[in-house]
Structure 1
Amino acid sequence: MNKTVMKENFKLKNFISKNTQKPLLAMLIDPDKASQKHLKQLAGKIHDFTPDIFLVGGSVMEQSLFDETVEDLKSLFPQIPLILFPGSHYQVSSKADGILMLSLVSGRNSDYLIGQQVLAAPKIKASGMEVLPTAYMLIDGGSLSSANYITQSLPIPADKPGIAAVTALAAKQMGMQFIYLDAGSGAQNSVSPQMVEAVKKETDLPVFVGGGIRNIHQMKSLVSSGADVIVIGTLFEEKLDEIKSMKEYIQNLIISGSLKSKI
Structure 2
Amino acid sequence: MPCLPHELIAWKILVRLPTKSLLQLRCVCKAWRDIISGADPSFSQAHLDHLHQQVKKPYSLLIAPRIKSESDMEDPRDTRRPWADMKVTSPGLYLWEESQKDIATLLFDISSFPAEGAATRHGLTHCDGLVFLPAEDTVRVLNPATRQIRVLPWSLNSVAPRRCPQGEGHQAFGFGRDHRSNAYKVARFFHRETRGMGGLGMEVFTIGKDQCWRETAVQPPYPFVAGLTATFFKGSLIWTIDYYSPMYDYSHLDDAANMPCFVRFNLEDESFSVMTGPPWYKGPTILTPTLPR
Which category describes the TM-score, using the shorter chain as reference length?
Answer: under 0.3
Larger RCO (alpha carbons 8 Å, 6+ apart): 1
Normalising by structure 1, we get a TM-score of 0.27
Point out the structure with the larger helix share. Answer: 1
Larger strand proportion, structure 1 or 2?
Answer: 2
Q: Normalization by structure 2: what TM-score?
A: 0.25
